[in-house]
Structure formats: structure tokens, C-alpha cells
Amino acid sequence: MVEKTVKEVSGTLFDEQRLLSLSELCRACELPAEVIVALVEEGVIEPTTAKRAQWRFSAVSIRRVRRVRSLERDLGVNLAGAALAIELLEEIERLRARLRRLEREG
């Protein structure tokens, strides 16, 4: 007999063009505002405006925050190291995408 494993997945889908308030980002990432502020100060994510009361974040910020938290939790990387790692990982992704485009064209 074949046994099937069923996993339940839940979450909220965000349009990548949608802007999130600080409280929405906190809820989406399940983090307090202080952590998000620290991520902004470290340059991991960037709000669209300078005034904290008017901060808005792209939905891509959710992905970045979650990646940083994974690096901190799984590898014990500090916030500054995680921020650098995110930049490097995203650069690798961009270079791989460019390489795929070049290979298709050539």
C-alpha cells in the first residue's frame, strides 16, 4: 500500500507591486516593529519614504526579511552578516537569470 503525505500550506499572497505598511509587514513576517526597524537600519529592506509614520514596503521585503531570519536562525549569522549574505544571494540569482537569457539567445 502506498502512503500519501498531505501537507497543509497557508499564507497570504501579495502582489509584488503592492506596498505594505509597517504593521502589515510585521504581521506578514510575524515580527515586532523593532525588528523591522533594525532591518531598515541595517539596509536589508528599504521603505519608500524617510518618515517612519509613512513607511511603505514592497512585497519583496517579506521575502528578504524571511531569508534574513532563516540565516540568523539556521546558521547563527548576525544581522549585518545576514544582510550581506542576502545581497550576495540576490546577486547570484540575477547573474544566473542573465546567464540563462544569454544561453537562450546564443
Alpha carbon distance 65, 75 (integer Å): 15
Considering only CA atoms, which of 71, 45, 57 is closest in space to residue 18?
A: 57
Assigned CATH for 19-105: 1.10.1660.10
Q: 21-34, pLDDT tens digit by residue? A: 999 999 999 999 99
**What is the model's pTM?**
0.74
Instruction: Give which of 3, 72, 87, 76 is closest to 35, Cα–Cα.
Output: 72
| 82: Cβ contacts below 8 Å, ≥ 6 apart | 44, 67, 68, 71, 72
What is the tens place of the pLDDT at every residue in 77-88? 999 999 999 999
Give the residue extent of every domain in the chain. 19-105
